[in-house]
Structure 1
Amino acid sequence: MTDPVTTTDEQPVPPDQILVGGLWRRGGGEVMTPTNPATGEVITELAGASVADVREAVEAGRLAAADPSWANLTPHERARYLHRIADLLERRAAGIAALQTLNTGKTLAETRALVASAVGTFRYTAAALETGDGELTTPRGPYLTMTVQEPFGVVGAITPWNSPIASDAQKVAPALAAGNAVLLKPAAWTPLVSLALGRAITDAGLPPGLVSVLPGGGATVGDAIVRDPAVGMVSFTGGTSTGRHIAGIAAEKLMPVSLELGGKSPTIVFADADLEQTVAGILYGIFSSTGQSCIAGSRVFIAREVYDDVLRALSEATRALRVGPGDDPRTQVAPLVHHRHRDGVAAAVDRARAEGARVVCGGGVPEGETFANGAYYLPTILDGVGNDAAVCQEEIFGPVAVVLPFDDEDDLVRQANDSVFGLACGIWTGDYRRAWRVARRIQAGTVWINTYKQLSIATPFGGVKESGLGTEKGRHGIRTYSRTKAVYWGLDEAPLPWAR
């Protein structure tokens, strides 16, 4: 078995090939030029997928999913493939992490954790598949009733640029476990790691055609995947506007979708919170991943009686964060994924200034030769505006936190819930009764109490309001990618009375 990805910390660059229906070949679409966010240099040129490539991949996936060599596998036989993929990813982890740092700018510590997360996802999903049972439902007549799970056939998996490999695995693993073929479309800015995942999948011996990796633009490749009549389900992680567009197409097709969308998550600090733990948690919640996280704690609500003390400690700790390239082990805040995205973050801060926000710290591009050509932005704290300001209502997706005071619990809940988003929330307090009470009142899919941004493949994840539809992960995450069929076994020896 060949190993096209190095197992050292060198930065391997995949060849100019994409995976279409089981074949590695040059794509027929537009040429993409992934860049290194730390330097602005082009890493490679890669021809993305065309609409014709998508159509070919769909047809190959349809045939592969229906082939008895795959469709008739028992769960434990499908699980073996997932374990093989996990083993290959683990063997190639160092090289894949280095590649992701090169393409996304993330720190090596983070990209190594993301590869480990992908490995864990395939293994957990394999275990869930082997131990997942159907249901024998309670009969209400002379019959035996049960449910079985069946695949959709071909599934579209559209993943974001901020956490490739981990996001890819969270869709590909359960989709395969359910028996589907998968069309994986990574973001145009960060296609390289998804292609490395595709190599591991094909090298694991998965039947050809079950997985295609189709990099390209959302308006062309993504749209072609979602609209194709043979695609029976789509899972999307990304921006709310794109998610709404996909949901519209899905409504026309009467096709199920799973949508993990934007967030503007509140982090809540009560007066009795442990200051050291709270500050560390807030920093990690907003500035790790350079703020490029849908669950980033970007609205920080602080009880008014401790507002000044917490803000002072938070700003001092923020100024001490080390900004630098992702391959420097000292770096805590790496460059953003692309210069265009960095410029968008900077523009959002400028708009906040125009609204009357005060820049407590950060608020600009760092100076110095190290940062001259990279997509860097300083970790930034703003205050002085109300929760109705645009900077508090719109997702920035960068290292920018807005700090706001609150007077009592009702005031806090009203402000925290005053958002179109409802993805996550953090609560810092020593009062477990209050923590539970507020956690239940906050409109969010995930709530952390005295911690933040801890994630587990074993725990379901999803959002409410404009943060998305459906849930992924968890023991029953495979069911997101399958249909439920009811089966009735008649036990009465007499004919149905109506026909007499």
Structure 2
Amino acid sequence: MDSVDLSGLSSGEILIGGEWRRGRGNKYTSIYPADQSVNADVYGANEDDAREAIEAADNAWRRADWSGLKPHERAAVLHRACDLIRERHEWLAQVQRRDNGKPINETRALVTSAANTFRYFAACLETLDESLTPPRGEYLTMSVHEPLGVVGAITPWNSPIASDAQKIAPALAGGNSIVLKPAEVTPLASVALARILEEAGVPKGVVSVLPGKGSIVGDAIVRHPLVKKISFTGGTEVGRGIALLAAEKLMPASLELGGKSPTIVFDDADLDHAVNGVLYGIFSSSGESCIAGSRLFVQRSIYHAFVERLVSSARKLRVGDPSLEQTQMGPLISAQHRTSVERFVSLGIEEGGRVLCGGGRPEGDGFDRGFFFLPTIIEGLSNGALICQKEIFGPVLVVLPFDDEESLLADANDSAFGLAAGIWTRDYKRAWRTARALDSGTVWINTYKQFSIATPFGGWKDSGTGREKGYLGIREYMQQKSLYWGLNAAPLAWAD
């Protein structure tokens, strides 16, 4: 496995309240999941660092050298951040690859996404209007939006730089300060992004990046009284805890949580498109994706033919070195997570499932040094099986036949989650009916796992609340105020 120049990140320093220094939490080692080689030593933050960063963020917000800028002035800084990300595109992609082991072509796409996110919200900021509302008396009424103050953002390990950008860019566009806690195991891309934001012109103290344990740093951020909003992407159980704390503070929280997304292949689907789309939906990112299409429903009349093609194609997927252009699947994030995936596969077998391909670790030179797991397809289970109900967050697909739309929708919606879904059919009327009937925040039709920063994203049910992205994504990080301008010629009559 190759390496990348991490000398700019090897000091272990993190950005705390505008100062680059080592955190006062535990020192730990960032490793490359593909071969367990060392990336860097990291000095994580602790509660005192979090408190210092939040207080600095509140001071920075109140002194108004960011929140008080005109929208086009803040937009200029966001545009500069986009330009700097683009200038360092390949290096950032390699850092992200080392951070979490994703194949290089995928990390390049994530860096491009991050750059585009800053550019998009810069454009939105320059064109976002306030509104005059229809008056119902002798007054002029208007609605304006103002920053919340300090925003806490907590991001996951599966796509750090893109997730960071989706929270930081709209929060900054709204005039807020932001304290970011990246996942403990993937700090490098977030620290690199913090240096770019500083260079782009974000004032001192407006952004802090605090790697460390979620139970310590994340908890301190959520609980602090100066934090006025939390934006969290991660597991559902942690999200529930954040929601409870946010409710106690009467603080808004955007929660993008887990998923167990159904993918549906009808008998009239273009099978070439469907096979490729299903494989991409579950096995890209090694299945470590909240929107992974992990439950596959195939109409019974084509079930055997389709599954045969699917399994044949899955066996040909290229698992291996993430630095190579041809690699489609890299390792899982850690040995502990791979063990969790293995337990789910064993559970599926115990429940009566049959493994059609994969089901274990690949063999061969180099695989034993990393956390690799083969693309796995299981059949012979009902939708009520535990591995059809629990989020695995790995490259495991369960295939289920269906007979008609009614039974399909009952099973597809029989899940605690509602983040995403996919439909494959040539019948546009059936696509419309099915898409509208699915309990899901996003539905892809004859495609899968495509994203636009211009289109809102979020979940239903246990998959979360609130939305990211979209033209109004900035408003998620602002609070609304109404203004009344009196136009009456005479004094108010009541006091006469």
Deviations 1:201-254 (A, max 9, x none): 111121100000000111000000000000000000000000000000001111
**CA distance in structure 1 between the partners assigned to 2:64 and 2:315 by the alignment:** 60
* SS of alignment partner, residue 206 of structure 1: coil
Correspondence for 2:164 among 154, 163, 168: 168
**CA distance in structure 1 between the partners assigned to 2:424 and 2:200 by the alignment:** 44
Q: Confirm or deny that 1:471 pairs with 2:467.
A: yes
Correspondence for 1:346 among 342, 346, 350: 342
Query: Contact between 1:12 and 1:98, CA under 8 Å: does it hold in 2?
Result: no
**CA distance in structure 1 between the partners assigned to 2:419 and 2:67 by the alignment:** 36
Which residue matches 1:391? 387
Correspondence for 2:6 among 3, 9, 12: 12
* SS of alignment partner, residue 455 of structure 1: coil
> Which runs of 5 or more structure 2 residues have no equivalent in the other structure?
none
Which residue matches 2:195? 199
Letter in 2 for 1:376: F
Correspondence for 1:95 among 87, 91, 95: 91
Q: CA deviation at 1:97?
A: 0.6
**CA distance in structure 2 between the partners assigned to 1:162 and 1:366 by the alignment:** 21
Query: Contact between 2:67 and 2:147, CA under 8 Å: does it hold in 1?
Result: no
Letter in 1 for 2:429: R
Q: CA deviation at 1:12?
A: 2.1
- Spell out the pairing of 1:286-301 with structure 2 (5 A cutoff): 286-301=282-297
Q: Could you say what the CA RMSD is over the residues aligned between the two structures, in angstroms? A: 1.1
Aligned pairs, how many? 493
Q: Confirm or deny that 1:380 pairs with 2:385.
A: no
TM-score, normalisation: structure 2: 0.98
Correspondence for 2:453 among 457, 462, 466: 457
Q: Confirm or deny that 1:63 pairs with 2:59.
A: yes
Q: CA deviation at 1:497?
A: 2.7
Aligned-residue sequence identity (percent) comes to 59
Correspondence for 2:440 among 440, 444, 448: 444
Which residue matches 2:266? 270
Which residue matches 1:3? none
Which residue matches 2:107? 111
* SS of alignment partner, residue 34 of structure 1: strand
> Which runs of 5 or more structure 1 residues have no equivalent in the other structure?
1-8
* SS of alignment partner, residue 262 of structure 1: coil
Letter in 1 for 2:306: V
Which residue matches 1:215? 211
Letter in 1 for 2:412: A
Which residue matches 1:26? 22
**CA distance in structure 1 between the partners assigned to 2:182 and 2:65 by the alignment:** 28
Deviations 1:382-437 (A, max 9, x none): 11010000000000000000000111001111000000000001000000000001
**CA distance in structure 1 between the partners assigned to 2:425 and 2:287 by the alignment:** 24
Q: CA deviation at 1:297?
A: 0.3
Deviations 1:328-383 (A, max 9, x none): 11111110111111111111111111111110110000011220110000000011
**CA distance in structure 1 between the partners assigned to 2:6 and 2:40 by the alignment:** 11
Which residue matches 1:6? none
TM-score, normalisation: structure 1: 0.97
* SS of alignment partner, residue 426 of structure 1: strand
Letter in 1 for 2:211: P
**CA distance in structure 2 between the partners assigned to 1:109 and 1:140 by the alignment:** 57
Which residue matches 1:259? 255
Q: CA deviation at 1:495?
A: 2.2
Q: Confirm or deny that 1:178 pairs with 2:174.
A: yes
Correspondence for 1:136 among 101, 125, 132: 132
Query: Contact between 1:18 and 1:214, CA under 8 Å: does it hold in 2?
Result: yes
